[in-house]
Amino acid sequence: MSTTQANKIEIIKAPNTKINEVDFDNLNFGSVFTDHLFECDYKDGEWQNPTIKPYAPFMMDPSSRVFHYGQAIFEGMKAYKDDNNDIWLFRPDENVKRFNSSAVRMAMPEIPESLFMEGLNQLLKLDEAWIKKGLGNSLYIRPFMIATGYGVVANPSNEYKFMIILSPAKAYYSGEVKVIIAEHFSRAANGGIGAAKTAGNYAGQFYPTSLANKDGFQQIIWTDDATHTKLEEAGTMNVFFRINDTLVTAPTSERILDGVTRKSIIAMAKKEGIAIEERPVLVSELIEGIKNGSLKEIFGAGTAAVVSPIKGFAYKNEYFELPEIENSVALQLKEKLTNIQHKLAEDPFGWTVKI
C-alpha cells in the first residue's frame, strides 16, 4: 500500500480495485461498497487521525457503548457525475447540519463541517470511477458515527468513530406501494429522538413493518403516539398528500425528521406555483378525501427513492385505493428534482455543489 498526505488527511490507497467485479447494471441498493472509506476518531476531547484507507472490517471492544446503549447516528446523501465527468453533491450543508443536530440529541460530539466535507471530497475524488454517469445513476454516501468507548456503565461514551462509506446505486424503484396507517405502533414520541437520524429509530420500525409485510403491504404511515389520529411519516420517508390541487405535509417536530428531500420538494412546489401547506393531517381527513374524491395523491419523499408514489392504504381493516391519475404532481416534482441533481436542468436554488 502507498501512503500520502492530502490536506492533513492521511491517504492509504488500496493495492487493487474491486470495481471490475461489480455488475453496475444489477445493483442491490446499499450492498456493494467502493474501495476506500474515511474515518476519524474522537479521543481526549478532540477529533484526530483523519484517514482514508481501504474498505475493510475493523475490530471493536465487546463493551463498546454503541453495542449497549445505542449511541449511533448516520446520514444519507448522494453524489452524481454529469456529462463532463464533474462530480456534484446535493445540499450537503443540510446533511452536515442535521448530522450535528442528531449528535447533540444523542450526547455525541459534533463533527466540524470542514472536516466532514474535506474527508468526503477527498474520498469521492479517490473513488470517482465508481460514480457512473447517466440519469438514475449515483453514489450513495453513508456518513455515520458510533460510540467506541469501552465499559458497560450507562453513561455517554468518551470516544467515538466517524466514518464515511460509499455505495454505487441505480435508480430506486420500489414498485407498487401499499401502506397501512398505524393504529397502535409509533415511530416516535414527544420528548423523544424522532427528529434525530439515529439507528434505534429505524430498528424500532422493523417489527411493525414486518407485520405489515405479512399482510401484503410494503410500508406503514406512522401516526402520532398520543392519539394515532395525525399522519406523520411513511416508512422511513416524509409523506405528502395532494388534496385537490394542494400539497399537504406534516410540519417537522421532535417526532418528525427534517428531510432534505422534503424541504427541497416544498421549495420546488412553491416555485412552480403549486399550493402547499405544512400542517397536521388527520386520518379522518384522508378517509373523507378518498370518499369524496378530493384526495388525489400520496407519496413519500427521501434520499434513496427521491419520490415514491403510494397506490393505496389500509385503515381499521378497510383498504382504500387512490384513483389512477394522468398528471401526477409527485412524478413531475421527482423529474424536476432528479434533473437538477444530475445537472440536466438549471439549478435556480443553488443546491448543487461541485467537488
Q: If DSSP codes are grouped into helix, strand and coil, which group holds residue 80?
A: strand
Region 258-271: what's the mean pLDDT? 95
In CATH, the number for domain 178-341 is 3.20.10.10
Per-residue confidence (pLDDT) for residue 346, from 0 to 100: 94
Q: How far apart are CA 244 and CA 354, in angstroms?
A: 38
- Contact (Cβ atoms closer than 8 angstroms) between residue 304 and residue 173: no
Tens-place pLDDT, residues 3-58: 444 459 999 999 999 999 999 988 988 899 999 999 999 999 999 999 999 999 99
Q: If DSSP codes are grouped into helix, strand and coil, which group holds residue 145?
A: strand
Q: How far apart are CA 352 and CA 79, in angstroms?
A: 10
Per-residue confidence (pLDDT) for residue 7, from 0 to 100: 52
Region 139-147: what's the mean pLDDT? 98
Region 67-82: what's the mean pLDDT? 96
Name the more confident of 46 and 171. Answer: 46
Tens-place pLDDT, residues 226-247: 999 999 998 888 999 999 999 9
Q: How far apart are CA 191 and CA 74, in angstroms?
A: 20
Per-residue confidence (pLDDT) for residue 73, from 0 to 100: 98
Q: How far apart are CA 261 and CA 207, in angstroms?
A: 26
Mean pLDDT across the chain: 93
Q: How far apart are CA 199 and CA 145, in angstroms?
A: 10
Percent of the chain with pLDDT over 70: 97
Tens-place pLDDT, residues 250-259: 999 888 888 9
Tens-place pLDDT, residues 304-319: 888 999 999 999 999 9
Per-residue confidence (pLDDT) for residue 303, from 0 to 100: 87
Percent of the chain with pLDDT over 90: 85
Alpha carbon distance, N-terminus to C-terminus of the chain? 26
Q: How far is CA 261 from CA 49, 123, 248, 255, 341, in A?
A: 33, 24, 15, 17, 11
Helices vs. strands in the chain: H and E counts, helices first: 7, 21
How far from chain centre, in Å, is Cα 279? Answer: 22
Q: If DSSP codes are grouped into helix, strand and coil, which group holds residue 325?
A: coil
Per-residue confidence (pLDDT) for residue 235, from 0 to 100: 86
Domain-wise residue ranges, the chain: 3-169, 178-341
How far from chain centre, in Å, is Cα 110? Answer: 19
Region 140-166: what's the mean pLDDT? 97
Q: Which class is domain 3-169?
A: alpha beta
Q: How far is CA 13 from CA 36, 115, 144, 185, in A?
A: 8, 20, 21, 46
Q: Is 232 exposed, middle or buried (0-12, 13-18, 19+ CB in 10 A)?
A: buried
Per-residue confidence (pLDDT) for residue 130, from 0 to 100: 97
How far from chain centre, in Å, is Cα 87? Answer: 20
Q: How far apart are CA 10 and CA 317, in angstroms?
A: 57
In which band, very low, low, confident or very high, does the pLDDT at 326 lie, cut at 50, 70 and 90?
confident
2 pLDDT more than 70: no
Per-residue confidence (pLDDT) for residue 210, from 0 to 100: 96
Region 123-135: what's the mean pLDDT? 96
Q: How far apart are CA 115 and CA 46, in angstroms?
A: 12
Q: How many CB atoms lie within 10 A of CB 302?
A: 22
Tens-place pLDDT, residues 270-285: 999 999 999 999 999 9
Q: How far apart are CA 159 and CA 146, in angstroms?
A: 9
322 pLDDT more than 60: yes
Per-residue confidence (pLDDT) for residue 243, from 0 to 100: 96
